[in-house]
Amino acid sequence: MRYVDAGYAAALATMVVYAASLVVRRRRWERALRMSEPAAEPEGAPVRGEPS
Amino acid sequence: MSEQVTRPIRPRRPRWLDVVGVLGIAAMGFTVWLGLWVTPPDVVQGNLARLLYIHPAIATVALYWAGGVAAGGSLLYLWPRTRSFFWDRLAASAVEVGAVFSALTLVTGSLWGRPVWGVWWTWDARLTSTALLLLLEIGYLALRRVPADLDVRAKRCAVAALLVAVDVPIVHFSVDWWNTLHQGGTILDPGFDLHVHGIMLWTMGLSFVAFTLVFVWLLGMRYQVEVLQDAVGDQELDVSLSERWSEDAELVGVAGPAAHGSGDAP
């Protein structure tokens, strides 16, 4: 039975680890997207490159 | 760069994907329960036959589902009328999930082959072509990481995915074209007569459903990662360009009056 157990364990563990890695990657990219978005500037603030 | 790339969409996980995930996990749990505890040992193979409740289903996903989505998505991207980054991202996601299932196909097959054939590995046509499939999938994923414009990358990867897909029929027909240690049709023979019956057949059928549902779930999750990845790359490009433009504007603002002689010159 040890080959059978090893086969089931390998299949299930691989899928669990891969699914978890996808969740982690998704969160990391969501955070990166939030950080790369330009912060909203307050109304009336001078635009960069223009005289204030 | 096309419009759909410059305006990235932040993906929301659709409700149906959660439903598919829950169904897949439930079906998988049921398959494991039936496969390990309910089904009787096989007359010839004994308990080792239990590995056959997962190995063919994993191989089916790796070969036909993942290979089919990757090839179909790539063809639809290359076809000008249907060209969309949706197909490119779907194909890339299918190749990565397919690589995981291809690796599992080799591992579970090897774990079955060691006690039944007496070897972990043999250069049999079916095994070798499956290993080649995994190598081609890894090659595709490496190619995708090569920096390039999104459109160039998508075209390059679509061609690579079609090359990967060439191996799919070779794997399928390898047991017919060559004299292999790997057996031919396990469930059906060429006359469509079933070789598996009763609870063994139901367990095997359920395993195909379970692994297919899990594949769709993983594919959906991987697709969302792909969309986010492209959106971040694109956002960073926008920020870099706007910084560059404002730097240029500042330089022109400083150099402008002197260059035109409209300053304090007498």
| DSSP annotation of B62 | I
**Closest CB from B32, B221, B242 relative to A22:** B221
- Predicted model pTM: 0.83
Give contacts of A12 with chain B, Cβ < 8 Å: 28, 32
What ranges do the domains of chain B cover? 15-184+196-242
Binned at pLDDT 50, 70 and 90, residue B247 comes out as confident
Length of chain B as a residue count = 266
| Predicted interface score ipTM higher than 0.85 | no
Closest CA to B208 of B63, B13, B42: B63
Q: How far apart are CA A12 and CA A7, in angstroms?
A: 9
Give contacts of A7 with chain B, Cβ < 8 Å: 51, 54-55, 107-108, 111-112
pLDDT at B32: 96
First-residue to last-residue Cα distance in chain A: 77
Which residue do the tokens 């081609």 mark? B136
Both tokens of B165, joined, read 């897909």
Q: Residues B40-71: pLDDT tens digits?
A: 988 888 899 999 999 999 999 999 999 999 99
Q: How far apart are CA B87 and CA B105, in angstroms?
A: 26
